[in-house]
Amino acid sequence: MTHQLIYATDGGTSATGSRPALSWWYVGWMLAGGLVVASTGMTQVRFNRDVLPILSAKCFSCHGADRARRKANLRLDKRDSAVANRDGRHAIVPGEPGNSELVRRIFASDRALLMPPAEEAAVLSAAEKQILRMWIAQGAVYERHWAFQPAERGSVPPGNWGYNEVDRFIAARLAKENLSARGPATRAQLIRRVSFDLTGLPPTRDQLDAFLGDDSPQAYEHVVDSLLKSPRFGERMAMWWLDGARYGDSHGYDNDLENSQWPWRNWVIESFNANKRFDVFTIEQIAGDLLPDAGSEQILATAFNRNHRIQTEDGAIDEEWRTEYVIDRIETIGAVWMGLTLGCSRCHDHKYDPISQREFYQLFSLFNNLDEKGFINNLRGSAEPRARYQPDEYARQLVAIENRIEQKEERKQAMADLESRYPLVMVMRDMEMPRQAFVLQRGRYDARGEAVEPGLPAALPALEPGVPVTRLALARWLVSGRHPLTARVVVNRLWEQLFGIGIVASSENLGIQADWPSHPALLDWLAVEFVESGWDLKGLLKQLVMSATYRQSHRVDEERLLRDPQNRLLSRGPRVRLQAEMVRDQALALAGLLVEKLGGPSVRPYQPAGLWEEVEKRGTYQRSSDTGLYRRSLYTAIRRTVPTPELGLFDMPSREVCTIRRSRTNTPLQALALMNDVTYVEAARKFAERIVTQDATPAARIAWAFREVTQRYPQPAELEVLHAGYLRRVAVYRRRPDQAAAILKQGESPLPADLDKIELAAMTTVASVLLNLDEAINK
């Protein structure tokens, strides 16, 4: 087992803490086989991969970039400081671990000399000490953090497995590990996977049959192309984008009343559907208002930076919260586009990444110039600055109302309707005179330090000479192609969407503390491709889903499970639980209830009664009366302080702050929701209607239903279980027709009069079992 694999299998075990695990891997490697390998000259310690994670986690907090916390004026993040002569001693003497103070101190048995100090929580493992010693012995070579260096296309590894370049990188790595790729997934498995990944919905029966019946070599490509063209694509991509954009439908504090930001969600969906170039998509959201000839759509796009929560609790200090919003914007942009935790520099220089506190407030100054309030008691709707959604259409209809409707009450109602269809949306609009920004000491709104002017972090590429630093310049800089992070971050996050785990497992952070990439060269190659393609999102996604890597079977065997437990090497196809929205949307689709309407205001589907009342001041939940019960889940209104439990149980974030990576849990509360929530009981009932109206025997109907859910026909043993269960429960309901009637009353949708209630109730239980299958909630 080689070093690379050790890293790969370790990465991303964040739930159990990756650092302790890392040290164990190292112990195993170093003490058992690694040193032998090293002595044969096959192993070179690499700074970025091996050394930096140790220094960063254990040393930099006192010997890093943060001036205020630095001890002994020693920096270990800079080579000149590390090797400098300090009264005849050197922290590091390259090539001479024996003469290096660092080595002496980390191995010290005297507690007074030991580093990290005994009273600190940081402790170096035996393996980590060995690595530091080896690194110094090998010359203490520093490398710049990989993600701050420009991505290079590099060369595609040779090979002949697969369909495109992605596969060469994957195959080369697998070969190195003596693992092999899996054979292709069945067509049924594949169309399920790609349909969920590109549209968030299962394939329809027609799509499945067409794919199975298409013998042409382009059959799969046709599927992919049609999914990318589907309007459902934009909705699926919006599910992804809205987490990072912390999109919600309420203000998020105190009594948490509704906002009216939903038109921005429309903009996102439409942009993805139109395959708007990602660079334009970026510029419009960050600085659409500053574009020459900015139209209403470009201004609407900037609502991205107004999706933060707004403080509505009496007694709050306006400036304190206004400051929080500016900081929230920087943190969110840092996470979404740069994979950096810029917020760490709010109070002090960043402990790991080269972002100083001063630079943080230089960025701050670009988002600090709105004529906005920090605190608005009982805010409902939008706060200034704001802009009308579709102003032309609004004006046209307004005139129509004024001209046509004379009766006062009627007119008032028409005006209210108009207002709700074309609301004012919170957007970015700078004041004529920008506010002077200051370094805020310890990040406090009222502790002003030195004044700062706009600027970009020095560790990242500079703007073209002569270009003033503005919000628009920042947006363009992010997508200039020269920024080392943006394309890597986006490619990595989309990879994560498809494969369940990023090439960099810590997709929310590509800074110095990031996990080491499983396939660094592939990440860079994809990033360069993405930029050179003209930031073509659909093109990138197509490239990924067309790969043989993606099209592998997801079956696991012992060897793969042991040697590639998280599938970071891609030794099989991805098998990942559906995300929250998809779980519900699939059930609605199978039930025939799903209303495929694009965009519009948020809706209020079923929610347990009394949820709002129990936490005070939230009023009473007014459930949508009509199609609102059956829209896709991304349209479900998000009240941030009392989220609908059903989506949250499946790990949908509360959208209070930017979330880049959702957790993916497996809990009994999920089981309870899928079994008992009226959403799923009604879905089972309506799905059962579709089943029992199939012109066939009960067994054949069940086989049909099984295929509707899983895209495959059941094995005889599977069908036997379901069919026997159906017959048993028919018998139960015959004895208890009241029970049959009760289950058929669940949900608002009507019950057809002409169906046999007993059969329908029993089939509802079968449908419920199908919706609860592990296979049904995995892609």
Minimum CB separation from other proteins for residue 107, in Å?
23
Q: Is 89 helix (H, G, I), strand (E, B) or coil?
A: strand
Nearer to other proteins, 110 or 314 (CB): 314
Cβ atoms of 576 and 778 within 8 Å: the answer is: yes
CB of 325 within 8 A of CB of 310?
A: yes
CB of 513 vs other proteins, minimal distance in Å: 3
Q: Which is nearer to other proteins, 299 or 340 (CB)?
A: 340
Nearer to other proteins, 462 or 615 (CB): 615
Q: Which is nearer to other proteins, 500 or 601 (CB)?
A: 500
User: ω before 385 within 30° of 0 (cis)?
Assistant: yes
Q: Select from 206, 189, 217, 276 the least CA-distant residue to 241.
A: 276
Tokens, residue 403: 């001209």
The DSSP-derived string for 671-731 is HHHHHH-HHHHHHHHHHHHHHHTSSS-HHHHHHHHHHHHHSSPPPHHHHHHHHHHHHHHHH
Length, in residues, of the chain: 779
**623 alpha-carbon distance from chain centroid:** 29
Q: Which is nearer to other proteins, 185 or 475 (CB)?
A: 185
Residues 6+ apart with CB under 8 A from 463: 456, 469, 473, 477
CB atoms within 10 A of CB 758: 21
Tell me how far, at minimum, the Cβ of 594 lies from other proteins, in Å: 21
**Min dist. Cβ of residue 57 to other proteins (A):** 7
Q: Of 300 and 576, which CB lies nearer to other proteins in the complex structure?
A: 576
Beta bridge pairs of residue 111: none
For residue 506, the minimal CB distance to other proteins (Å) is: 6
Measured from the CB of residue 353, what is the shortest distance to other proteins in angstroms?
8
Closest by Cα among 318, 279, 284 to 300 = 284
Peptide bond into 668 cis (omega under 30): no
Q: Which is nearer to other proteins, 71 or 617 (CB)?
A: 617
Which tokens sit at 359? Answer: 């630079």
DSSP state of 23: H
242 versus 681: smaller Cβ distance to other proteins:
681
What residue has token string 């090293």? Answer: 38
Side chain identity at 500, as an amino acid letter? G
138 Cβ contact partners less than 8 Å away, ≥ 6 residues apart: 44, 45, 95
Closest CA relative to residue 425, chosen from 260, 289, 256: 260
Q: Which is nearer to other proteins, 292 or 716 (CB)?
A: 716
Element of type H or E holding 493: helix 486-499
Nearest to 445 by CA among 327, 358, 348: 327
Cβ proximity to other proteins, 412 vs 617, nearer residue: 617
Nearest distance, CB of residue 409 and other proteins, angstroms:
34
Q: Nearest approach, Cβ of 651 to other proteins (angstroms)? A: 5
Tokens of 75: 């920096």
Residue 406 structure tokens: 């004379």
CB nearer other proteins, residue 483 or residue 577:
577
Residues 6+ apart with CB under 8 A from 678: 606, 746, 747
Residue number with CB closer to other proteins (6 or 219): 6
Contact between 525 and 169 under an 8 Å Cβ cutoff? The reply is yes
Nearer to other proteins, 164 or 739 (CB): 739
In the complex, least distance from residue 484 CB atom to other proteins, rounded to whole angstroms: 16
CA–CA gap between residue 347 and residue 462 (Å, rounded): 24
Q: What does the buried/exposed string (b/e) look like for 502-541 if buried means 16 or more CB atoms within 10 Å of the residue's CB?
A: bbbbbbbbbbbbbbbbbbbbbbbbbbbbbbeeebbbbebb
Residue position matching structure tokens 């990879």: 495
d(CA 549, CA 544): 8
Shortest Å distance, C-beta 402 to other proteins: 40
CB of 226 to other proteins, least distance (A): 28
The residues with which 311 forms a beta bridge, in sequence order, are 375
Give residue 105's identity as a one-letter amino acid code: R
Closest to other proteins by CB, 104 or 563: 563
Which of 564, 508, 502, 755 minimizes the C-alpha distance to 9? 564
Least separation in angstroms between residue 719's CB and other proteins is 10
Closest CB 446 distance from other proteins, rounded Å? 8
Phi, then psi, of 469 in degrees rounded to 5: -80, 105
Q: In angstroms, what is the minimal distance from the CB of 68 to other proteins?
A: 13
Helix 391-404 to helix 408-421 angle (10° resolution) is 170
Closer CB to other proteins, residue 351 or residue 388?
351
Question: Given the complex with other proteins, which of 452 and 767 has the nearer CB atom?
Answer: 767
Smallest distance, Å, CB 86 to other proteins? 27
DSSP 394-411: HHHHHHHHHHH--SHHHH
Q: Nearest 5°: CA angle at 123, between 121 and 128?
A: 150
Nearer to other proteins, 603 or 740 (CB): 740
CB of 685 to other proteins, least distance (A): 10
Helical ranges in 28-78 per DSSP H: 35-39, 52-58, 60-63
Question: Helical H runs in 177-261?
Answer: 187-199, 205-213, 219-229, 231-244
Smallest distance, other proteins to C-beta of residue 411, A: 36
Nearer to other proteins, 237 or 514 (CB): 514
For the CB of residue 643, give the shortest distance to other proteins in the complex, in Å.
Answer: 6
Q: Which two tokens stand for residue 462?
A: 């500079």
